[in-house]
A and B are shown apart, each in its own frame.
Chain A
Amino acid sequence: DAKTTQPTSMDCAEGRAANLPCNHSTISGNEYVYWYRQIHSQGPQYIIHGLKNNETNEMASLIITEDRKSSTLILPHATLRDTAVYYCIVRVKGAQKLVFGQGTRLTINP
């Protein structure tokens, strides 16, 4: 699985959009980009995934660059409950495991 690079930590004001970047410059054509988040001491929560097109669901939007070497997770109107560690994971189709890095610790400030 391709390696991902994320900032260690980020801050965002409540009500603003939180934009979390992820670099995956060695991604290959059959690898998907997944995002999970983990609120303190809970299990990781699935947010969204995509291959090459931008994706949106009720939680977030995923923007993948045309060359697929990076992506951005967007939480459109961040709330205090969005404070969590966010993991960007690249996973080949059919792979058994998710490979977690250190993630980005996002803090939403009132």
Chain B
Amino acid sequence: ETGVTQSPTHLIKTRGQQVTLRCSSQSGHNTVSWYQQALGQGPQFIFQYYREEENGRGNFPPRFSGLQFPNYSSELNVNALELDDSALYLCASSLDGLAVTTQYFGPGTRLLVL
């Protein structure tokens, strides 16, 4: 069974640029959730994708957007990068549709905005 993978592992961008982060869900999982973790803080929920549709969103501006593909992998796009977007970006996959769903996290992508 393959776990959750994310790419790239590290990324450096400058303010105003755009970035795309990628996530491959665990085998058999149909749902991907994205989280942002600033230094010293717990992860914060950005949004979730279920069967290629956004299925819930946290308190993040529209410049944070996402996609889910038919194979359930996902992308997180951030436009007009700001310095405060520097963080660890985590994706988590789960198999939704069951009574209780557990989210399994990938290793994260560390983004630095200069």
Measured in the bound complex, the distance between the Cα atoms of B99 and A49 in whole Å is 13
Which residue in B45, B100, B110 is a CB contact (below 8 Å) of A97? B45
Binary contact readout A78-110 vs B (1 if CB under 8 angstroms, 0 otherwise): 000000000100000110111111110000000
* Count of interface residues, chain B, beta-carbon cutoff 8 Å: 26
Point out the residues of chain A lying under 8 angstroms from B104, CB to CB: 46
Q: Is B28 an interface residue (CB 8 A)?
A: no
CB distance from B103 to the nearest CB of A (A): 6
Q: Pick the contact of A100 from B42, B88, B100, B106 — CB < 8 Å?
A: B42
Give 1 or 0 for each of A51-73: 1 = CB within 8 Å of chain B CB. Answer: 00000000000000000000000
| A99-B106 Cα distance, complex, nearest whole Å | 17
Contacts of B101 in A (CB 8 A): 94
How far, in angstroms, from A87 to B90 measured CA to CA in the complex?
15
> Does more than half of chain A's interface fall in helix, strand or loop, or is it mixed?
loop
Q: Kindly state whether residue B33 has any CB partner on chain A within 8 Å.
A: yes
Judge if A29 is at the interface, Cβ distance under 8 Å: no
B92: chain A residues at CB < 8 Å are 43-44, 98
Expressed in whole angstroms, the minimum distance between the Cβ of A108 and any Cβ of chain B is 21
In the assembled complex, the CB of B41 is this many whole angstroms from the nearest CB of chain A, namely: 8
Contacting residues, chain A, for B45 (C-beta < 8 A): 96-99
B99 to A100, Cβ gap below 8 A?
no
Of B43, B55, B90, B92, most buried by chain A (CB within 10 Å of CB) is B43
Q: How many Å lie between the Cα of A36 and that of B43 in the bound state?
A: 11
Contact with A along B36-56 (1 / 0, CB 8 A): 000001111100100000011
Contact with A98, one of B41, B43, B99, B110 (Cβ below 8 angstroms): B43
A103 B42 Cβ-Cβ under 8 A = yes
Decide: A43 near B90, CB < 8 A? Known: A96-B33, A96-B56.
yes
The 9 lowest CB-CB distance pairs between A and B, nearest first, are A100-B42, A96-B56, A43-B105, A97-B45, A96-B48, A44-B105, A43-B107, A100-B43, A43-B108
11 CB contacts below 8 A, A to B, read: A41-B110, A42-B107, A43-B92, A43-B107, A44-B105, A96-B55, A96-B56, A97-B48, A98-B43, A100-B44, A101-B42
